[in-house]
Each structure stands twice: as structure tokens, then as C-alpha cells.
């Protein structure tokens, strides 16, 4: 994970995988956990995940 901006509001996360079928599951769980953490801390979260190779999006 690395910061994309100097304010620390945008990050780039790299997820390596061997099985494309499991990637959907992995990213769905990641998104769920991120939203749950934000909710528990009374924060809002705006997140989108994009595969730069296929341009597929997860929201």
C-alpha cells in the first residue's frame, strides 16, 4: 500500500492473485471490511477498485 497524495486521503493497494475467480471474492471482502471500519469509526468512505490490466471495477 502506498499514499497517492500528500494529504493521506488516497492510497494505492496492490493485490496479487493466481486465480481470477477468487479475485472477486477477495475484493468483495476487502470492500466490506473497509466500509465496516469506516462505519465503526463514524467516518465516510469513498472507495473504488480498478484492475489496470482489464479495466474491471469493483465498488
What pLDDT is recorded for position 31? 92
What pLDDT is recorded for position 19? 79
What pLDDT is recorded for position 51? 84
Q: Is 58 exposed, middle or buried (0-12, 13-18, 19+ CB in 10 A)?
A: middle
What is the C-alpha separation between 16 and 40, in angstroms, rounded? 28
Q: Would you say residue 4 has pLDDT above 80?
A: yes
Determine contact, residues 15/23, Cβ cutoff 8 Å.
Answer: yes
Q: For 6-59, write each residue's pLDDT tens digit.
A: 887 888 888 887 877 788 888 999 999 999 999 999 999 888 888 888 888 988
Amino acid at each position: 500500500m502506498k499514499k497517492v497524495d500528500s494529504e493521506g486521503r488516497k492510497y494505492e493497494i496492490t493485490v496479487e492473485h493466481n486465480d481470477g475467480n477468487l479475485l472477486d471474492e477477495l475484493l468483495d471482502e476487502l470492500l466490506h471490511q473497509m466500509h465496516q471500519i469506516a462505519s465503526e469509526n463514524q467516518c465516510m468512505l469513498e472507495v473504488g477498485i480498478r484492475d489496470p490490466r482489464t479495466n474491471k471495477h469493483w465498488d
